[in-house]
Structure 1
């Protein structure tokens, strides 16, 4: 028997706790996010030479961020010890420049998506928590748009003066003329997050949203920071990367297990490489989940329904809703 696909309006009142966003949410904003991987994009565009490709093979990873961080650390050690090593320096510059080029090719500018940000901000406002598995700036730009509005609501990412405050639950408190807030987290990191030479983790900010993407890429280019995001790799590789970051590990261990009653999943394929996210959410004890569906995809509904049956308690209710419903994500 086919699963019923609801409109968002039919179920929205029952789902206000947490929104989890996958890559399909970004694709709904801009089709350029419909790519296999950053590394594959770089290879197909002839950006990666064979020598640097061998680094990915040696470390058994597809993760650009990890390879860049490894060679960046190696060059910094060599500089500190005054060891001349042109080959390592050249590898670092090549990986860095390939990542910058790949992000520039794939990621839209702010002005190209600005008209969709009001709808996204209005949708996110309906949740206490927003969890984005995407490295791109869509959610952050929507946050900034929402915080510029005079609607007595605020989005908070729990960073204070560019540093993450691990007492994150205190940010739920509202004050002054604010009536409600949504907390935003990135379990796989984000372009706005970075590491410095001694592994301090920071949020990169900008005077305006229009300059944010370019400001981030300029900081990478200068060698001031390396990015903090996990965009690719197997489940085990992603878990290892998460464990290496204080911010990512805190979100993974504390935030993902803190959801109260309901979860909305938008644009997430729930692939094998993201099973660790599902495992953590299952520990939160939520009792209902709603998944977005495109084009009445019953095969997806069947697979997801079985995953929930296998990972959550048997009382957990599973619903499906049309991803293109009015007032849902980018849909006005």
Structure 2
């Protein structure tokens, strides 16, 4: 459904160009809409939603009983049960099958929904990577590798020109050839920082839960990134991603992980204006609203996807957005006007 710019302005939906002056050097918050713009296969709320469709019914019963969507938590409990069974001389054949089903199910879900290296058109990722330079720090709740890959394209070009990297994510200390360890110390002078608020498929815990590391694909080894992820899962190392269905559960998971809580504190303590792009503001993400409402951010810009919505629907949705942040100045803008380079491939 096509609407004129004036019709949109009349209901409080603006083009990015008309509000950009108020958001110079603002922070950026990327939701799932960013990934969907690059690959429609990633249009899911969480990996668990895909996983539960084909998983073992008994395994799903365990998730439901623990009231969690946390893969790692279920794996830990299966391992603990096996340990107790061994002590008591009880067979763990069923536990082993459930553990195998958990590993293979998550691997299949990741592989079915994430493009391979050959499917990603890297020159296309470079364009939005450069558009990200219009902002300061970047926060995201996405699990996929698109933001990471897009930023890497820009960093590679900067390094080729012998310029300092314009982005950093606090993972720079080498733990192994394919692992970079998290450190809260910034190694560069004044880069844009990237924060994965809900974790990612390439973030893992090691060293008895004390540290977080990021998987690093070695170009010279030609190892498929998705294969690195599969290898970690097969070794019982589950990605850090916050997939719980309730905001309180997500917040609990965040608070129990040093890296995630570090990212959350950066959002809560931010004083820069904030631009949301492609974020749905569902009930399960109330903790994100709380972080921003508690921050010193003065102005918030929120993208709205027009699609085939009527003017009445758009007006209702934009009014809903404004009511989310009662103590902030809120501007609503047309999502198609911010990143013109984003096109599905």
With the shorter chain as reference, the TM-score category is: 0.7 to 0.9
**For the Cα contact (< 8 Å) 1:259–1:286, is it kept in 2?**
yes
Residue in 1 aligned with 2:5? none
Please list every run of 5 or more consecutive structure 1 residues that lacks an aligned counterpart in the other structure.
175-180
For the pair 1:22 / 2:31, whether they are aligned, the reply is: yes
Aligned with residue 219 of structure 1, among 228, 232, 251 = 232
Structure 1 residues 229 and 67, CA, compared in 2 at 3 Å: closer, same or farther?
same
Moved more, 131-140 or 254-263: 254-263
Structure 1 residues 266 and 48, CA, compared in 2 at 3 Å: closer, same or farther?
same
Shift of 1:213: 2.2
**For the Cα contact (< 8 Å) 1:325–1:331, is it kept in 2?**
no
Please list every run of 5 or more consecutive structure 2 residues that lacks an aligned counterpart in the other structure.
1-8, 175-179
For the pair 1:275 / 2:286, whether they are aligned, the reply is: yes
Residue in 2 aligned with 1:187? 197
Residue in 2 aligned with 1:177? none
Structure 1 residues 73 and 193, CA, compared in 2 at 3 Å: closer, same or farther?
farther
Aligned CA-pair RMSD: 2.7
Structure 1 residues 158 and 217, CA, compared in 2 at 3 Å: closer, same or farther?
same
For the pair 1:236 / 2:236, whether they are aligned, the reply is: no
Q: Which has the larger radius of gyration?
A: 2
For the pair 1:128 / 2:136, whether they are aligned, the reply is: yes
Residue in 2 aligned with 1:39? 48
Residue in 1 aligned with 2:189? 173
Residue in 2 aligned with 1:245? 257
Shift of 1:69: 4.4
Q: Find the residue that maps to 1:226 and give its secondary structure.
A: coil
Residue in 2 aligned with 1:108? 115
Distance in 1 (CA, whole Å) between partners of 2:321 and 2:188 is 31
Distance in 2 (CA, whole Å) between partners of 1:72 and 1:18 is 41
CA offset digits 1:176-225 (Å, max 9, x no partner): xxxxx2100111101110123722422111103972222112221233x2
TM-score, normalised relative to structure 1: 0.85
TM-score, normalised relative to structure 2: 0.82
Distance in 1 (CA, whole Å) between partners of 2:148 and 2:292 is 22
Distance in 1 (CA, whole Å) between partners of 2:315 and 2:116 is 35
Q: Find the residue that maps to 1:259 and give its secondary structure.
A: coil
Q: Find the residue that maps to 1:61 and give its secondary structure.
A: coil
Q: Find the residue that maps to 1:24 and give its secondary structure.
A: helix
- Counting only pairs closer than 5 Å after superposition, residues 269-308 of structure 1 correspond to structure 2 as 269-295=280-306, 297-308=314-325
Distance in 2 (CA, whole Å) between partners of 1:237 and 1:207 is 35
